[in-house]
Amino acid sequence: MATIIAPDLKDPSLYEAGVPWDAFEELRRSDPVHWNPERDGAGFWAVMRHADIVTVSRQPLIFSSAHENGGHRIFNENEVGLTGAGESAIGIPFISRDPPIHTRYRKFVMPALSPVRLGDIEARIRARVEALVDAIPLNETIDLVPALSAPLPLMTLAELLGVSIDIWPKLYDWTNAFVGEDDPEFRQSPEAMGATLAEFFAFSQELFDARRADPTDDIASLLANAEIDGVPVPFRDFVGNLILVLVGGNETTRNSLSHSVAAFSQNPDQWDMLRADRALLKTGAVEMVRHASPVMHMRRTATEDTMLGGQAIAKGDKVVLWYISGNRDAAVYDQPDRFDVARKGVQHVGFGAGQHVCVGSRLAEMQLRVAFDILTDHVTRFEVQAPPRRFRSNFINGLKNLDVTLRAG
């Protein structure tokens, strides 16, 4: 298959003005396993099609996420650290582990995210959304991110960790810094990042010590008291896993919510449809994640020579799965660019696939269902007033703000 000329998908500035949908569409059609050179590295295979993304995701022993092989990001985590800041005190999160260790970590965390536990917290999530929405002035322009999109998942995470929900603004600042290696607003200087990490380490140490001394059923306790082959996890790995929980649990819900409000603003017929039939929220929440694709990619490394999409992949090659492309694949979705809350049978890769599918996916979808269920009681129209400022990132499809008017009546 001929290689086409394409933009550098690693370049974070490529996504500042918006997702380059046309480039992804052309690559899916003409060069779906595309070689992307790197200015500062050996290059990587960019995987564009839904089917190929699923194929790679279901073969973790051939396509590794392990830290020692580079980890789960385009940069080599084993060289520059989990957040790309050169830190050495952060250990290995379970997203950067291969089976069987990855699977063992998932088993430690799953009790905190079981259907029974999620059913127990749904009422409290609903109460928080009601309070947040009640505080939003209707028929006035507000920034939805600090008003709803950010506090909702971060308050939920605080509850799951067993800490005060009032800490959510600090969690927000920390997670932005962890994923914002290419955004000067989030990484103002090495010194500022060092101060952020020191503050987070102090929080993590206090939490770790408390949960080791007096464990409960929260996620922090499960992570602090996990054992691998009978050996308790060290503090540094607890820190790595805590970052994973905070980033994964925040970025997906926050940005899916913001992007979906923007989509309802552009497609008011979809909002009318949802308000007329709230049963659509079950499928609608899944469609919201597909359409938003809040995490744009994940990386793997080939552990042996293999083939993918007609391309020869060499042992040691980086393979980057572009979820944001797979979620717009016309081979899988009818009118893939259309936002359709009534879309049936959506099998998106917004939360990954295979062994590494996000453990918190049900929680994210539940928060979206609850949020938009409550918004249907209050809002007749969403009107975005200005283009939002976007993350300068090749990893998170993030909105820093969303100036929107919530119309009522």
Per-residue pLDDT of the chain (409 residues; tens, 9 = 90+): 455 678 999 999 999 999 999 999 999 999 999 999 999 889 999 999 999 999 999 999 999 999 999 999 999 999 988 888 777 778 899 999 999 999 888 888 888 787 787 888 999 999 999 999 999 999 999 999 999 999 999 999 999 999 999 999 999 999 999 999 999 999 989 899 999 999 999 999 999 999 999 999 899 999 999 998 889 999 999 999 999 999 999 999 999 999 999 999 999 999 999 999 999 999 999 999 999 999 999 999 999 999 999 999 999 999 999 999 999 999 999 999 999 999 998 899 999 999 889 888 999 999 999 999 999 999 999 999 999 999 999 999 999 999 999 999 7
Dihedral angle of Cα 188, 194, 199, 203, to the nearest 10 degrees: 120
User: How far, in Å, CA of 140 to CA of 310, rounded?
Assistant: 53
Q: Which tokens hold the place of 178?
A: 């962890």
Give the chain's domains with CATH numbers: 12-35+42-82+97-407 (1.10.630.10)
Please, which residues have CB within 8 angstroms of residue 313's CB and are 6 or more apart in sequence?
Answer: 33, 45, 302, 305, 306, 307, 319
pLDDT at 1: 45
Q: What is the chain's Cα-based Rg?
A: 21
Dihedral angle of Cα 244, 245, 248, 253, to the nearest 10 degrees: -160
User: How far, in Å, CA of 232 to CA of 224, rounded?
Assistant: 8
User: How far, in Å, CA of 110 to CA of 114, rounded?
Assistant: 6
User: How far, in Å, CA of 289 to CA of 134, rounded?
Assistant: 25
pLDDT at 84: 84
pLDDT at 407: 98
Task: HSE, CB side, 13 Å, CA atoms: give it for residue 303.
Answer: 14
Residue 131 is which amino acid?
A: A
